[in-house]
Every structure is written in structure tokens, then in C-alpha cells.
Amino acid sequence: HLFAGILDAPPPASREQRSAGSGSSSGTSSDQVTRISSERPGPEGRGSQELEIGRYQVEGIQGGGGMGRVFKGYDPKLERRVAIKQLSPEISGNKTSLDRFFQEARAAASLNHTHIAAVYEINAEENDQPYLVMEYVDGPTLATWRRSDPPPSFPEKLRVAREIAAGLAYAHQKKVIHRDIKPENILLTENGVVKITDFGLARILGGSGTRLTRDGLTMGTLAYMAPEQVSGRESDHRCDIYGLGVVYFELFCDRLPVEANNDAAFMYALIHQPIPKVLSIAPALPPALADLIDRMLSKEPEERPGSMDEVLSMLNGIG
């Protein structure tokens, strides 16, 4: 197995080095954009060498990781800002990567929900680098929002937790698993509305879709991955429930449930050591919320809530 031997690594240590490896990389340069147009006046008459992806004007780089890079763009036809996710040139010629990209596109495009960032266009022309055009969200990630000054109140955190659950419950009803739930993939609009984004590791449940469990294992963000993903066992929608449990634990307890100084130590701790109970970290939380998060973080999928609908129902019952 991919992680053979690693799961017997030494036990975990400090959080700082563990957290440092949890985010996605955004190393991107302008030569990775589809094409560069000739120089012409930019906004406010400034001279610029304008970058374009398809008909979209590229205004900046938002980030990247996994399979592609995300650009902030502008649609001159519909006069609106957009986010553009483009498959990186290094892997755009790889059939497996292309198949995964198109699966992501189909999964994301099938979702239409207030708390999921919308997909506007899928471009897969033969002579172009494939890309998705998505709703642009004009606010922070959950990771940034929870560290706001002043910090969010408990009612605000609970509202956000419910909105994430509502979006994910809808996706699961549509038989789409996210597989990479983490604070960086949860955005908030300027008005504080949750938008889940980057279904980059999504897999259509059932049917004859390509199985991505092993690839998803290596592409996910380790701190938010369920034990069955890390150990290479079969996983289903309950891996999202576990990942969201980690997000909730971090949101309400201000730390990760499993902490270690490197990936090997983290995997050892996740598989072999107990996860602390929420009330041992944040004793002031409502017991019903603490119990829900504890259940979501059960190492065995069968011991977690059976569905995101159940998670949402329990959250709605917490005052």
C-alpha cells in the first residue's frame, strides 16, 4: 500500500509544523495562462499586457493546488467577475488528469444551491487548456474568517456551520462527494453567506464513473482526511462527514483534533491514538453540539451520523 510503513511512524508532536503543510500551493506564473494578447490599454487607460483565458480577462491569481490554478477574472460579455480554474500545463496532456478534470466539471455543474459556488461554463476545446468558469466569491475563506478581529461570535459560527452542512447535504443528495472539505474550500461572501467551492476531488456515486479513491487519497488535504482515506480503505460520503467534523472542531475549539509535526506522525496518530473530546477542549459549548462533532469524528464510518441531512437536522436543533 501507498502508506505501508508510514502508519507505524513515531507518535505526533506540535501543531505548527503539521498546520504548515495543510494548505494548497499557489505557485503560478503568467506563462501558465492560456494565451497572452498584444499590449493594449488596461483599466483606467493604463498600458498593460492583458492576460486572457478564453474570452475572460485575467485580473490576478487566487491560488492553486491539486489539479489546477484559480484566477480572478472578468467576463466582458456578461460584465461580471468570475473565478477561472484552469488545468495546469504540466498535466493537461495526461489522460487520467483530463478524465478527473471533466469528472469534476460534471459534478460541480450538476449542483445548484445557495451555499455552493456555481459553475458557469466548462471549456474543453481540443486546442485549449481545459478550464471551469465559476462564481466569484468576494470574501474570505473560513480559515481567515474564524481568525477575524474581533472573532466571530458563537451564533455567527453556528450559522456558518449550518450553511456548510446545508450545502454539503444538498451535494450528497445529488450523489456528489466533495472529498476535500477544509476551511480553504469554504468561502464567505461580503455579506457572510457560505459558498463551498472546489469539488476537485468529487466523485459521482454509483454508475460507471471512474473510481478515484486511491488518487483522491494522495490529493486530499491530510489534516481533514478521514482515517479510511488515509489507510487506503474504501470510502463513501461519510468521509465528508468526518472532514466537516474536523472543520467544526477547529471552528469551535480553535485547534485541530489531531496534531503532529509531520505527515508520518500525523497518520500514526490518526490511526492509533484517540481524538480528544470536544468538551475537554471547549467546555462552554452546548453538549449537543459537542456530542455531534465527537460523533462526526468517529474513526469508524459506521459510528458517524449516517448522512449530512442528519447532521443538519441536529445543528438546527441547537439554540
- Please pick, among 180, 198, 240, 294, the residue that the annotation labels catalytic: 180
Return d(Cα 82, Cα 101) in angstroms, integer: 19
- Asked if residues 264 and 213 have their Cβ atoms less than 8 Å apart, the reply is no
291 is catalytic: no
Return d(Cα 211, Cα 205) in angstroms, integer: 9
Strand 47-48 versus strand 51-53 pairing type: unpaired
Lookup: cell for 202: 468529487
Strand 80-87 versus strand 68-75 pairing type: antiparallel
The string of DSSP codes covering 193-240 is -EEE---TT-EE-STTPPP-HHHHHHHS-GGG--HHHHTT----THHH
Amino acid (1-letter code) at residue 134: M
Catalytic residues: 180
